[in-house]
């Protein structure tokens, strides 16, 4: 038996329902090892920048870039779930689709690493 489709809501009830859906998505993401590792990496990077004495604006930009990692990881996870549902058997299309999503995560992590390194270099050596 299929679960019942959630009833459409409007106004404040819609906002509350959307918040619940977001929390459900975060619970789903928490099951992903990559998501937990990225959270750990972001927390570690933020801690290092705070201890090193980064300015508030530098910390804010780091946090925003870190959130971008989590956003792209969430989208990548969603793409992988869709591919697995549509094409449960291995396929070249599925592999390429997942590889492109993985590349997106990799590129934003590189951007974070560059920013983190440049910020730390500026604090320690300039």
| Per-residue pLDDT tens digits of the chain, which is 126 residues long | 778 887 888 889 999 999 999 999 999 999 999 999 999 999 999 999 999 999 999 999 999 999 999 999 999 999 999 999 998 899 999 999 999 999 999 999 999 999 999 999 999 998
Residue 104 gets the label, from left (phi > 0), alpha (psi -120 to 50) or beta, of alpha
pLDDT value at residue 118: 97
To the nearest 10°, report the CA torsion of 32, 33, 35, 40. Answer: 150
Reading the block at residue 12, the tokens are: 């404040």
pLDDT value at residue 72: 98
| pTM (2 d.p.) | 0.89
Q: Where are the domains of the chain?
A: 33-125
Q: What is the CATH number of domain 33-125?
A: 1.10.287.3610
- Distance separating the N- and C-terminal Cα atoms of the chain: 65
Provide the residue count of the chain.
Answer: 126
Reading the block at residue 38, the tokens are: 């990225």
Reading the block at residue 126, the tokens are: 């300039």
If 0-12 CB within 10 Å is exposed, 13-18 middle and 19+ buried, where does residue 6 land? exposed
**73 has catalytic annotation:** yes
Do residues 111 and 44 lie in contact, with contact meaning Cβ atoms separated by under 8 Å? no
Q: Which of 73, 80, 89, 92 is catalytic?
A: 73
pLDDT value at residue 3: 80
Do residues 43 and 112 lie in contact, with contact meaning Cβ atoms separated by under 8 Å? no
């Amino acid at each position: 038996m299929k679960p019942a489709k959630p009833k459409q809501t409007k106004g404040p009830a819609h906002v509350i329902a959307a918040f619940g859906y977001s929390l459900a998505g975060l619970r789903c993401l928490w099951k992903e090892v990559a998501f937990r590792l990225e959270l750990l990496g972001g927390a570690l990077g933020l801690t290092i920048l705070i201890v090193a004495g980064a300015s508030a604006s530098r910390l804010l930009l780091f946090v925003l870039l870190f959130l971008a990692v989590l956003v792209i990881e969430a989208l990548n996870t969603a793409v992988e779930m869709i591919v697995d549902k549509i094409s449960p058997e291995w396929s070249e299309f599925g592999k390429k689709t997942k590889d492109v999503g993985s590349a997106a995560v990799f590129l934003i992590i590189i951007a974070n690493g560059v920013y983190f390194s440049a910020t730390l270099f500026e604090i320690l050596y300039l």
